Structure formats: structure tokens, C-alpha cells
């Protein structure tokens, strides 16, 4: 009996990659589960809450700007240069939460909104809300008609 026969001992020349594939798939699944926890979250930033579909209370002070640049405070026409004084005049000291609501036409430049913000800050209002819906054509026309009925002619300042 010969113990050194080569009939049953063939040289294995192929690599079996099935166990290797199993290991990589398991590692891939582990990384997919663990990876979202590695996302950096900045806890120092408090993002403001957004209220969708909430109606704006009309009892508060409203500054409206039409497409042609005319400005109205609670429906009364006013010059942009007089806005701070007008906001101080209509301020109610009994209300704890002083708030200004800005409604503007969609074509108004953001610099006009920033000027309104500055005026509200100078008048010491604590909160300014820019209405989500722009001032539509019907509202603009109504403001202009109301101003004409009260027979107040205030010229509109032209931008340079």
C-alpha cells in the first residue's frame, strides 16, 4: 500500500471567493446602518419654525407695498421716509408683543423690505413677519382706491 499516491491529492488552483463576498456584504450592511449616525449635527443652530397655512391676524400693524412702489400702513398711504414715525404713531403700548406684518408685491426688490425692517427696528418693534403670499393685484387696486377716496395724494418716490 502506497501512502504517497497522488490520485486523491490534486492541486487546487482556483480561489473560492464566496466567503470573501459574504464578509464584504456583511461589512457593507453594517456601514449602511451605522453611517447615518456619523452625520454631523450642529446643535448650536436653532432653526425657526415655519407655520404653513396660518392666517395673519389683521388687527396687527400691516405695511403693504404695491407693485409700483406705493407704501401703505394699515391701508393709509405713506412715504417711505415717514415710515418710522408712522410706525411709532400707530404703536399700541398696551400690547405686549409688538408686531409688524409686511405684505409686498412679488416684484418689489428686497432692499425695500430691508428698509421696512430697519424702520420697524427703529420704531422698537419686537417682531416682523413677511407675509408668505405676495400682495395680489386685487389687494393693490383696493389700497389705491381707498387712498383715492380719502383724497390723499402722496407722490411715489422713484428709485435712483
Total-model pTM: 0.53
101 in a structural domain: yes
Evaluated on CA atoms 61, 81, 137, 134, the torsion sign reads negative
CA distance linking residue 105 with residue 140, whole number of Å:
8
* pLDDT band for position 52 (cuts 50, 70, 90): low
Measured in whole angstroms, the distance separating CA 76 from the mean position of its chain's CA atoms is 29
Q: For residue range 1-22, what is the model confidence (pLDDT) as tens digits?
A: 555 555 667 777 788 889 999 9
pLDDT for residue 23: 95
* Domain CATH number, residue 131: 3.30.420.270
55 in a structural domain: no
Structural domain count, the chain: 1
Cβ-proximal residues to 77 (8 Å cutoff; 6+ apart), any chain: 70, 71, 143, 147, 152, 154
6 in a structural domain: no
* pLDDT band for position 25 (cuts 50, 70, 90): very high
Amino acid at each position: 500500500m502506497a501512502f504517497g499516491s497522488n490520485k486523491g491529492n490534486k492541486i487546487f488552483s482556483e480561489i473560492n471567493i464566496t466567503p470573501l463576498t459574504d464578509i464584504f456584504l456583511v461589512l457593507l450592511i453594517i456601514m449602511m446602518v451605522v453611517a447615518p449616525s456619523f452625520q454631523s449635527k450642529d446643535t448650536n443652530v436653532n432653526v425657526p419654525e415655519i407655520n404653513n397655512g396660518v392666517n395673519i391676524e389683521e388687527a396687527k400693524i400691516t405695511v403693504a407695498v404695491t407693485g409700483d412702489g406705493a407704501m401703505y400702513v394699515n391701508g393709509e398711504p405713506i412715504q417711505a421716509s415717514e415710515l418710522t414715525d408712522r410706525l411709532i404713531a400707530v404703536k399700541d403700548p398696551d400690547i405686549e408683543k409688538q408686531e409688524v406684518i409686511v405684505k409686498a408685491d412679488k416684484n418689489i426688490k428686497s432692499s425695500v423690505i430691508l428698509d421696512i425692517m430697519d424702520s420697524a427696528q427703529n420704531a422698537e418693534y419686537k417682531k416682523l413677519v413677511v407675509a408668505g403670499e405676495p400682495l395680489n393685484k386685487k389687494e393693490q387696486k383696493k389700497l389705491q382706491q381707498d387712498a383715492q377716496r380719502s383724497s390723499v395724494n402722496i407722490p411715489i418716490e422713484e428709485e435712483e
